[in-house]
Amino acid sequence: MAGKRTLPLAGALLALASVAGMLVTGVSAWLSAAVLLLWLGSLWLAAPEPEIELERVDAAEVSRDAVSEAIEPLGQPLLVLEGTRIVLANAAARAALGRHIGGQDARIALRHPDAMRLLDMNDGDSVSISGFTGTRSLWQLTRRRIDGTHWMIELADRTAEADISRAHTDFVANASHELRTPLASIIGYVETLADAGPSIDEQTSKRFLETVLREARRMLSLVEDLMTLSHVEAEKHDRPSEQLDLAQLAARVVAEVSSLRGKERVELAAAEQDCTVLGDPGQLEQLLRNLIDNALKYGGPDEPVHVAVAKTGKQGVSLTVTDRGPGIAPEHLPHLTRRFYRTDPGRSRASGGTGLGLAIVKHIVERHRARLDISSTLGEGTSVRIDFPAAERLAA
């Protein structure tokens, strides 16, 4: 902002002395007065603005540039407001709200009633806004005072935290439901046996006890899968370090499974030599058993299940388990690795499935830095392929 101009004292005295001389020599008083006014006016216009004001303007610009440079690379979205106008927005804020927000009125740029309310709050106050940048988004906005006229608004994206919390809540609810169903069945049959006493016939008693045993085993299977899932999740950030031949592991597992009654149709279709990966032997065995078990349950009852291990480009290794059966509808494929997700709940429970098999597979795949792909054609069958990276690349 410009300062006030002032007349130079020496110039003003010289003008007065000159006009006095003109009056002494007989020049008209009106003409002398006009000359004096013109002279003093030219001196006033020529007077420089005070240097202190220029320094003030420069200092303000330098300060704003310094703040901009300081907040620009920060990962958290930040807005600097002068009154209600956005004077600075760092790269993260522009990415979240749009490049146009700089210079806008915050009430227009933020476009949310709770954000409007934040502009009238005190230093350190915050609001949580659901759906701020998208349907399922959740943001926390906090107001910070910089000085008498400037404020900073911090924007924190809480969407991921909300999704995790929602997933945990759903998991507990689903697990409770899955455990309650067999437990209620067990209690019901045991109460019936206890109330009937010796009057119940042997055949009915045997049938009830078989049901109790089946439901108890189902509960045990569910608890074991829950414990396995918890263990795998806890280790998923620890890279495996043991070298093993995936073809040899697959051959052993297929031989063990196919020797069991009712599972003779599991076949090792292909197994190349020297398919080395870095892996956890126990987890990879469980992964393979889960995939074979799913293929046996949901494939055709008389159709074979094929297991294949092969080398891929850049020394990677692929594991494929294929069944021939009714297949899976396309709308189900993206959700198959969710906990307790079932395409056919009645059939799954009847076959003893817990709904956690592919969730466990997914976490094992993530730990081994591999890639999971499930493809299916209705009426033809389903194929699950896992591509493992080269052992050398994973070790690096």
CA distances from 229 to 132, 356, 364 (A): 34, 8, 9
Region 174-191 average pLDDT:
85
CATH of domain 66-157: 3.30.450.20
Q: What is the assigned CATH class of domain 243-395?
A: alpha beta
CATH of domain 162-235: 1.10.287.130
Q: Are 152 and 79 in contact (CB under 8 A)?
A: yes
Domain ranges for the chain? 9-49, 66-157, 162-235, 243-395
Side chain identity at 8, as an amino acid letter? P
pLDDT at 177: 76
Q: What is the DSSP letter of 323?
A: E
pLDDT > 50? residue 352 = yes
CA neighbor of 360 nearest in space, from 265, 272, 257, 234: 234
CA neighbor of 278 nearest in space, from 311, 316, 234, 314: 316
What would the pLDDT profile of 204-255 be if each residue is shown by its tens digit? 889 989 999 988 988 888 888 888 888 888 887 888 989 999 999 999 999 9
Other CB atoms within a 10 A radius of the CB of residue 269 amount to 15
- How many residues belong to the chain? 396
Catalytic member of 112, 150, 168, 177: 177
Side chain identity at 345, as an amino acid letter? P
177 is catalytic: yes
What would the pLDDT profile of 116-141 be if each residue is shown by its tens digit? 888 888 888 888 888 888 777 889 99
In the block, tokens 């043991």 appear at 242
Q: What is the DSSP letter of 301?
A: T
